[in-house]
């Protein structure tokens, strides 16, 4: 019987084409829900497992790192001696037999983070926290691991890397943190795929916050003109509104601080006329130009390399010339025209 | 606030369940029988060193290719369960290892289970199994659980540390079958599986491939 099974398995394996699997995108999310937008989460040291001073300092710095680099309305973190959320350091950790650190989250009520004690001897080796030792190669940096844990607290699950880990730098919330001095061992800010998920889940921090390049957020652009038909040389003001058109919290957000260009149709396509200026109204841009012939205009948002918002353009806005200018003509470029 | 503090401290590391104790005892018996009568097999899970208590091992900062020379006694797995036991991921057994009388338990790595997320390193267990290139191995979970997806990777072990993993397969259904690498050497086998409900885990084995 065994003689039949093994060749059968081998045949199946021979036929099975195993392709490298890699998925690059925003971090997955943990179950359990979210905190309120911009929640201020405070933590304190567990009385029965107060971290040593160097770890407290590193964790506080990680809290600052998380708050500063979230680029979203995800929670912020700060120490408060009266907080209910706890950070523990010591031997009694629920992290499984090989865990370096772990956390439990029950938003919006509570979270706890545990760090295994320095010099803990695992089957595979001895744990060295860089800040608690002489920082030898192979140690784990507390600040980096703490930032990973705080990302979990927010909602982030481990990033799904390419099979060759070439995108390790796109996330701090990694399945396997790196030790000193491997690339990424001491990253102190959320990377683009961490931020992408935080923005998807908690929305962008402000309307001018750039969307993470780890995602491609559709956008929508509309434009109107101050007049549909004018005499030659009249000034027409165009008003464009740029909004995100993503899913969930990334739907319908005004997008301020971007570059929106006014274009006019030419015989060979569209040509830039001017860059529209932002206004006090969120996501709104205006531009004024003299119209000398009947022509279509549109607004264009080009995807910048620094942002994950996709290019878009408005519908064409036709401006019709009704008559040539006679008598007192509109002012154009500092002087009258005819 | 006080109750929170208490609950935090009560969250102790997962301890062997009664089932695991019974299994461990059975394994001890089986191992004993096997030592008395070579050739007698067993279908149970054999305790693996990588999932037991810590022992004298090389440190990650001073890596060594030499595996832990001190076998970890299987009796360590018969510790009394704690009343504050936290349910955790299942154990994973590696079957099909030539010469092994039972499936070899994997070392639990990073996991998320019932709201608890634990971060572990890329583990290179201190002791491994000797297999020939192209040997089919089968991974099973104990207790058996339906999973949504699994994926596996082989990472070459150099100077005691795992290098970049090479995909070894993935799928959504049983059985999880893997072929050992064609290239001789020491490898860390990693199997990750997700079980629905946001629960997932990873397990590691050290495999020494020799022609």
Concatenating the DSSP letter of every residue in A73-126 gives SPPEEEE-TT-SEEEEEES---S-TT-SEEEEEETTTEEEEEEEPTT-B-SS-B
Which of B88, B125, B164 faces A96 most closely, judged by CB atoms? B88
Flag the least confident range among A129-143, B43-57, B190-204.
B43-57
Residue B197, by phi and psi: left (phi above 0), alpha (psi -120 to 50) or beta?
Answer: left
Task: Specify the 3-state DSSP secondary structure of B63.
Answer: coil
For position A329, what pLDDT does the model report? Answer: 62
If you average pLDDT over residues A127-131, what whole number do you get? 97
For position B162, what pLDDT does the model report? Answer: 87
Q: B160 vs chain A: nearest CA distance in angstroms?
A: 9
- Does residue B164 contact residue B155 with C-beta atoms inside 8 Å? yes
Name the residue of chain A whose CA is nearest to B86's CA.
A94
If you average pLDDT over residues A151-173, what whole number do you get? 92
For position B21, what pLDDT does the model report? Answer: 37
> Does B2 lie at the interface with A, CB-CB under 8 angstroms?
no
Residue B37 in this model has a pLDDT that exceeds 90: no
Which of A88, A97, A121 faces B13 most closely, judged by CB atoms? A97
DSSP code of B209? E
Answer yes or no: do A102 and B4 touch at CB < 8 A: no
pLDDT, tens digit (0-9, with 9 covering 90-100), for A98-110: 999 999 999 999 9
Give the Cα separation of B205 and A123 in Å (integer). 12
Answer yes or no: do B49 and A123 touch at CB < 8 A: yes
Which of B4, B108, B136 faces A96 most closely, judged by CB atoms? B108
Answer yes or no: do B125 and A124 touch at CB < 8 A: yes
pLDDT, tens digit (0-9, with 9 covering 90-100), for B120-150: 999 999 999 899 999 999 999 999 889 999 9
pLDDT, tens digit (0-9, with 9 covering 90-100), for A290-299: 999 999 999 9
Q: B72 vs chain A: nearest CA distance in angstroms?
A: 9
For position A328, what pLDDT does the model report? Answer: 65
For position B82, what pLDDT does the model report? Answer: 37
Q: A160 vs chain B: nearest CA distance in angstroms?
A: 12
Q: A202 vs chain B: nearest CA distance in angstroms?
A: 20
Which of A122, A148, A165 faces B119 most closely, judged by CB atoms? A148
DSSP code of A192? H
In terms of residues, how long is chain B?
211
CA distances A180 to A130, A136, A333, Å, are: 8, 7, 62
Give the Cα separation of A193 and B20 in Å (integer). 39
For position A5, what pLDDT does the model report? Answer: 41
> Does B170 lie at the interface with A, CB-CB under 8 angstroms?
yes
If you average pLDDT over residues A2-6, what whole number do you get? 41
Give the Cα separation of A67 and A189 in Å (integer). 9
Give the Cα separation of B62 and A252 in Å (integer). 53
Binding-face residues of B in 86-115 toward A, CB within 8 A: 86, 88-89, 107-112, 115
How confident is the prediction for chain B on average, in pLDDT?
68
Binding-face residues of B in 55-74 toward A, CB within 8 A: 55-63, 68, 72
DSSP alpha helix (H) spans, A179-221: 192-202
Residue B63 in this model has a pLDDT that exceeds 90: no
pLDDT, tens digit (0-9, with 9 covering 90-100), for A76-95: 999 999 999 999 999 999 99
For position A331, what pLDDT does the model report? Answer: 53
Residue B113 in this model has a pLDDT that exceeds 80: yes
How many residue pairs from chains A and B have C-beta atoms closer than 8 A? 189
Q: What are phi and psi of A72, to 5 degrees?
A: -160, 180
Binding-face residues of B in 8-37 toward A, CB within 8 A: 8-9, 11-14
Give the Cα separation of A259 and A277 in Å (integer). 8
Answer yes or no: do B86 and A120 touch at CB < 8 A: no
Give the Cα separation of B185 and B197 in Å (integer). 37
When pLDDT is cut at 50, 70 and 90, the band that residue A161 belongs to is confident
- Does residue B130 contact residue B99 with C-beta atoms inside 8 Å? yes
Which of A32, A97, A145 faces B119 most closely, judged by CB atoms? A145
pLDDT, tens digit (0-9, with 9 covering 90-100), for B153-180: 999 999 888 888 889 999 999 899 999 9
Name the residue of chain A whose CA is nearest to B171's CA.
A18
Residues of chain B contacting residue A185, judged by C-beta atoms under 8 Å apart: none
In terms of residues, how long is chain A?
338
When pLDDT is cut at 50, 70 and 90, the band that residue A143 belongs to is very high
Name the residue of chain B whose CA is nearest to A168's CA.
B164
% residues pLDDT > 90 (chain A):
83
Give the Cα separation of A67 and B74 in Å (integer). 46
For position A323, what pLDDT does the model report? Answer: 77
A334 vs A90 pLDDT, higher one: A90
For position B161, what pLDDT does the model report? Answer: 86
- Does residue B102 contact residue B44 with C-beta atoms inside 8 Å? yes
**What is the rounded radius of gyration, in angstroms, for the C-alpha atoms of chain B?**
17
Q: B173 vs chain A: nearest CA distance in angstroms?
A: 14
For position A326, what pLDDT does the model report? Answer: 66
Answer yes or no: do A30 and B55 touch at CB < 8 A: no
pLDDT, tens digit (0-9, with 9 covering 90-100), for A218-248: 999 999 999 999 999 999 999 999 999 999 9
Q: B49 vs chain A: nearest CA distance in angstroms?
A: 7
Give the Cα separation of A10 and A3 in Å (integer). 11
Residue B7 in this model has a pLDDT that exceeds 60: no
Residue A11 in this model has a pLDDT that exceeds 50: no
Which of B8, B151, B164 faces A21 most closely, judged by CB atoms? B151
Flag the least confident range among B78-87, B103-112, B180-189.
B78-87
Residues of chain A contacting residue B59, judged by C-beta atoms under 8 Å apart: 125-126, 128, 138
Q: Specify which residues A261 forms β-bridges with.
A: A275, A300
If you average pLDDT over residues B90-97, what whole number do you get? 93
Answer yes or no: do A47 and B5 touch at CB < 8 A: yes
If you average pLDDT over residues B63-85, what whole number do you get? 31
Instruction: Determine what percent of chain B falls in helix, strand and coil, rounding each to the nearest 5.
Output: 15, 35, 50
Residue A210 in this model has a pLDDT that exceeds 50: yes
Name the residue of chain B whose CA is nearest to A174's CA.
B119
Name the residue of chain B whose CA is nearest to A7's CA.
B136
DSSP B110-164: EEEETTEEEE------SSEEEE-TT-EEEEEEES----SEEEEEEEEEETTEE-S
pLDDT, tens digit (0-9, with 9 covering 90-100), for A31-77: 999 999 999 999 999 999 999 999 999 999 999 999 999 999 999 99
Provide the token pair at B34. 């096997």
Residue A158 in this model has a pLDDT that exceeds 70: yes
Answer yes or no: do B166 and A100 touch at CB < 8 A: no
Provide the token pair at A147. 């930032």
Q: A96 vs chain B: nearest CA distance in angstroms?
A: 5
Q: A182 vs chain B: nearest CA distance in angstroms?
A: 11
Residue B6 in this model has a pLDDT that exceeds 60: no
Q: Are strands A85-90 and A110-116 parallel, antiparallel or unpaired?
A: parallel
Residue A312 in this model has a pLDDT that exceeds 60: yes
% residues pLDDT > 70 (chain A):
89
For position A330, what pLDDT does the model report? Answer: 57
- Does residue A96 contact residue A102 with C-beta atoms inside 8 Å? yes
pLDDT, tens digit (0-9, with 9 covering 90-100), for A256-284: 999 999 999 999 999 999 999 999 999 99
Q: Classify the complex by whether its ipTM is higher than 0.85, answering yes or no.
A: no
For position B14, what pLDDT does the model report? Answer: 33
Q: B30 vs chain A: nearest CA distance in angstroms?
A: 22
Give the Cα separation of B23 and A176 in Å (integer). 31
């Amino acid at each position: 019987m065994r003689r039949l099974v093994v060749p059968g398995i081998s045949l199946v394996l021979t036929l099975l084409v195993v392709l490298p699997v890699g998925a690059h995108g925003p971090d997955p999310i943990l179950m359990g829900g979210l905190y309120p937008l911009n929640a201020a989460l405070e933590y304190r040291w567990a009385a029965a497992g107060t971290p040593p001073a160097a770890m407290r300092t590193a964790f506080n710095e990680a809290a600052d790192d998380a708050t500063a680099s979230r680029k979203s309305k995800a929670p912020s973190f700060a120490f408060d001696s009266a907080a209910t959320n706890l950070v523990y350091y010591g031997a009694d950790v629920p992290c499984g037999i090989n865990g370096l650190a772990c956390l439990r989250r029950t938003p919006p009520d509570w979270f706890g983070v545990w760090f295994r004690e320095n010099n803990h001897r695992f089957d595979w080796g001895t744990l060295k926290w860089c800040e608690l030792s002489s920082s030898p190669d192979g140690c784990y940096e507390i600040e980096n691991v703490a930032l990973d844990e705080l990302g979990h607290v927010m909602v982030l699950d481990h990033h799904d890397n390419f099979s060759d880990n070439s995108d390790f730098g796109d996330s701090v919330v990694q399945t396997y943190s790196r030790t000193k001095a491997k690339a990424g061992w001491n990253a102190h800010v959320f990377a683009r795929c961490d931020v992408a998920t935080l923005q998807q889940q908690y929305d962008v921090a402000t309307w001018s916050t750039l969307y993470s390049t780890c995602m491609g957020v559709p956008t929508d652009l509309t434009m109107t003109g101050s007049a549909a038909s004018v005499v030659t040389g009249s000034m027409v003001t165009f008003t464009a509104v740029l909004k995100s058109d993503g899913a969930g919290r990334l739907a319908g957000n005004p997008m301020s601080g971007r570059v929106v260009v006014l274009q006019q149709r030419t015989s060979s396509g569209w040509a830039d006329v001017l860059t529209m200026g932002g206004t006090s109204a969120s996501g709104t841009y205006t531009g004024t130009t003299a119209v000398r012939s009947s022509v279509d205009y549109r607004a264009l948002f080009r995807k910048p390399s620094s942002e994950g918002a996709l290019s878009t353009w408005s519908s064409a806005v036709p401006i019709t010339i009704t008559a040539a200018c006679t008598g007192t003509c509109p002012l154009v470029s500092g002087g009258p025209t005819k | 606030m006080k109750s929170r503090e208490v609950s935090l401290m009560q969250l102790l590391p997962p301890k062997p369940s009664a089932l695991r104790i019974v299994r461990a005892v059975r394994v001890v018996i089986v191992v004993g029988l096997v030592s008395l009568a070579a050739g007698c097999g067993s279908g149970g899970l054999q305790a693996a060193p990588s999932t037991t208590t810590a022992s004298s091992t090389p440190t990650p900062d001073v890596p060594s290719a030499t595996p832990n020379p001190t076998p970890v006694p299987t009796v360590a797995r018969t510790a009394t369960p704690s009343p504050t036991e936290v349910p955790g991921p299942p154990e994973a057994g590696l079957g099909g290892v030539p010469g092994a009388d039972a499936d070899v338990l994997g070392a639990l790595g990073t996991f998320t289970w019932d709201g608890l997320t634990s971060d572990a390193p890329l583990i290179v267990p201190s002791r491994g199994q000797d297999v020939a290139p192209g040997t089919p191995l089968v991974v099973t979970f104990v207790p058996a659980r339906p999973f949504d997806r699994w994926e596996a990777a082989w990472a070459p072990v150099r100077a005691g540390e795992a290098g970049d993993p090479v995909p070894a397969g993935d799928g959504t259904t049983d059985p999880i079958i893997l072929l050992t690498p064609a290239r001789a050497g020491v490898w860390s086998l990693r199997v990750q599986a997700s079980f629905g409900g946001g629960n997932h885990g990873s397990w590691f084995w050290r495999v020494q491939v020799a022609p």
